Amino acid sequence: MSEIVFKIDIPSDDDGFVTLQCSFCNSKFKLTTADFQSDDVIYIFCPYCGLQNEGNELLTDEVLEQVHTIAQNYMNSRVNQFMDGLEKSLRGNKHISFERGKKLGMEDDKVLFEREEMEIVQPTCCKRPVKTKPLEASLGIYCPFCGVK
């Protein structure tokens, strides 16, 4: 078996920010794609609760659902292909009669989008921008990169 790699594009907003979700408090915030994917960023501090998340823990429910859909569709299409092949190879065979069932359907890929209103904050420590909910932005947030409030 070869390894299958599913590539999921997490869409960024007009300003180039991707939406992330803290695995502790489930609140959403946004970082620029460049910062989120940067090699020197291993842990990200939630701007709201200040706890450390690993990069892959920050995927939103919507993105995880998308991963599930893509994996499911891939499996379904493999099953369909296999059944096609089986049907073809058994056609005209006197000893085995093969009747295939219904083809497995595909789920629609959902379009991922995020419309939550957020404000850009630039912590003075790391000078990397973060988008948070307006109220928290005005109250003060933890810097996602060093955890300082």
Query: What minimum distance in Å lies between the beta carbon of 139 and Zn ion?
Result: 14
Is 25 an interacting residue with respect to Zn ion (CB under 5 A)? yes
**Residue among 16, 46, 19 nearest 30 (CA):** 19
The 3-state DSSP class for residue 139 equals helix
CB of 51 to Zn ion, least distance (A): 5
Q: Which stretch binds Zn ion (CB under 5 A): 23-31, 58-66, 73-81, 99-107?
A: 23-31
DSSP label at 16? S
Per-residue b or e along 84-96, where b marks 16 or more CB atoms closer than 10 Å to that residue's CB: eeeeeeeeeeeee
Q: Which of residues 47-76 bind Zn ion (CB under 5 A)?
A: 48-49
- 99-128 residues in contact with Zn ion (CB under 5 A) are 123, 125-126
Taking alpha carbons only, the member of 74, 79, 68 closest to residue 110 is 68
In whole angstroms, the minimum distance from the beta carbon of 36 to Zn ion comes to: 15
By CB under 5 A, residue 46 contacts Zn ion: yes
Q: Please compute Rg for the chain using Cα positions.
A: 22
How many degrees, rounded to 5, is the angle at CA 112 between CA 37 and CA 57?
45
Q: How many residues bind Zn ion (CB under 5 A)?
A: 12
Is 24 near Zn ion (CB under 5 A)? yes
What is the token pair recorded at 124? 């003075």
Does position 146 interact with Zn ion (CB under 5 A)? The reply is yes
| Residue 25 beta carbon to Zn ion: minimum distance, rounded to whole angstroms | 3
Which spans of this chain sit near Zn ion (rule: CB under 5 A)? 22, 24-25, 46, 48-49, 123, 125-126, 143, 145-146
